[in-house]
Amino acid sequence: MDRGVEVSVFEKSRGVGGRLSTRRSRGDMLDSSGEWQCDHGAPFFSATTPEFSAEVSRWVAQGFASPWAARWKLQEVRAVQSEQDALAENPLEKIFVGFPSMNAIAKRLAQEIESRVLAEHTVTRIQKFGAMWTLETKEHGVSHAEFDAVILAVPAPQAAALLESSSGCVPDHFIARAETAQMAPDWTVMARFAASTALPFDAARTNNSPLELAVCDRSKPGRSGAELWVLHASAAWSAQHLEASPEFVVDALMRAFKELGAPAPESVVAHRWRFANASATFDPTIDTHHASSWDATRAVGMIGDWNHSAGVEGAWLSANSVVRAVFAEPTR
């Protein structure tokens, strides 16, 4: 890293990305014909602030992000509740996707900072001994490395649990902020079709239905192969049916998609995002907790859309503000 900092990323999954994930064939569809991939997390994002707009322009120029001129179908437009809602309400606003997949962004950024990515390392405890931090993971126990600083980049409920595990080594208001942040779930269905659906839109948004958003993954720049649609249930429906079976979710969302003209799919699979969207955000210019998302004395910070504003842009702005704070003053 150009600032002389060695970064280690402890990632509970098999690769970086989180909610910027891309699902690839693993034999878990209802059949095993052919290979496939689709963005089953955040389907797209916007850039509205000068800081993030400049960063996205750099991503586009370097080839790992691209504008997406989607054809929209809107049904019964209602009040804006999330970044995805806002974009669907204003379909002419420029939206972006990772190229050639959403997780290409996370992969490229990890490479740029020359980070050491430790995949399948689920951190369960953070503790500080003297001036150094140590981590404990579910898979590998206590890390043999010691760290000068720790930054949590996980959903709010997981951040709260880790902060509480620190045995008093973090500010109380960090725990309070993480415990009070609200995150909504999202049941998602990936549907693969044997032939073109011939639907006259690339993305659709509805309400009064289990289905809130449908996105044709192949319509995004850099995608090819079989036609796959990603169906996102509404936050309210997902919360109501959080513990439902995948079969129940598939049936409900596919029936709603068929009402938009979709044919029967060749194969389907469901995925539950327990912490998908920051459902209650705040004004960082007013909320004093945001100003202290980095504690220089204890060398600990926390970032995420739940700690700033909803969506990809909010997550990046949160991270950018903490990184600036880290390098603005000595760690200890």
Average pLDDT over every residue of 155-173 = 91
Q: What does the pLDDT look like over 86-110, one tens digit per residue?
A: 455 555 468 999 999 999 999 999 8
Average pLDDT over every residue of 66-86 = 72
Q: What does the pLDDT look like over 99-142, one tens digit per residue?
A: 999 999 999 998 888 778 999 999 999 999 999 999 999 999 99
pTM of the model: 0.88
* Residue 84: per-residue pLDDT: 55
Residues 6+ apart with CB under 8 A from 1: 7, 113, 114, 115
Average pLDDT over every residue of 290-312 = 87
d(CA 230, CA 131) in angstroms, rounded, equals 46
d(CA 219, CA 161) in angstroms, rounded, equals 39
Burial 251-275 (b: 16+ CB within 10 A, else e): bbbbebbeebebeebbbbbbbbbeb
